[in-house]
Amino acid sequence: MLFGAGGHAKVVLEALLAGTPDIRVEVRDDAPALAGMPILGHAVRVPCLNGDPRDVVIHVAIGSNVARRRLALASCQAGARLFSIVHPAASLSPSATLGNGVFVAALALIGPESRIADGVIVNHGAIVDHDCQIGAWTHVAPRAVLGGGVRVGAGVLLGSGCVVLPGLEIGEGATVGAGAVVTRDVPSGKTVMGVPAK
């Protein structure tokens, strides 16, 4: 089951079907107004969890880190299991590790010995170089670039086209603005933007 029926869900569903075209998938959402609406040829069903979730494998396809985490954890507590989706046009090092419920979009690159925690989104064309560590429920937006050895805390948003120089640390819950160039560590909960990022 794919949870979510917004724009990010379309990206995730397309990636899933590109890699496994014969897979049987249900798209679900908790918004009653979306019931029956089509998403890439799949009618949305509501609610997300209906019935016994113990034999259900899910991917939460919601761009918001907070909402994605909340729904995934509630589903897992009810007995569902998370699965990851990697677009066949992504490049994933054999030595990289992915947690549960991760999404890696087309043209994204994850380098050697990088560790990607549960529920992370690595979006279109993003680069996560060697030895990076990405905390759970983080979103690496399209075309973001992380140099080697970058450490990113949980629940971070790395905006489109940002660059984080090698070896830096981005604290938990921080936000890096689109196009920013990060030249020093970012404390937890802080928002930085600009070139260099401040």
For the 85-186 domain, the top CATH level (class) is mainly beta
Q: Which two tokens stand for residue 123?
A: 């979006």
At the second CATH level, the architecture of 2-82 is: 3-Layer(aba) Sandwich (3.40)
Question: Residues 155-192: pLDDT tens digits?
Answer: 999 999 999 999 999 999 999 999 999 999 999 999 99
- The verdict on whether 130 is a catalytic residue reads yes
Selecting among 59, 87, 130, 139, the annotated active-site residue is: 130
Q: Which two tokens stand for residue 181?
A: 């160039």
127, 144 Cβ separation under 8 angstroms: yes
Residues 122 and 187: their CA atoms lie apart, in Å, by: 21
Question: Residues 5-63: pLDDT tens digits?
Answer: 999 999 999 999 999 999 999 999 999 999 999 999 999 999 988 777 777 899 999 99
Instruction: Give the domain ranges of the chain.
Output: 2-82, 85-186
Q: Could you give the C-alpha distances from 126 to 7, 9, 47, 145, 148, in angstroms and in order?
A: 18, 18, 32, 6, 13
Question: Residues 129-165: pLDDT tens digits?
Answer: 999 999 999 999 999 999 999 999 999 999 999 999 9
Q: What is the pLDDT of residue 50?
A: 78
Q: What is the pLDDT of residue 144?
A: 98
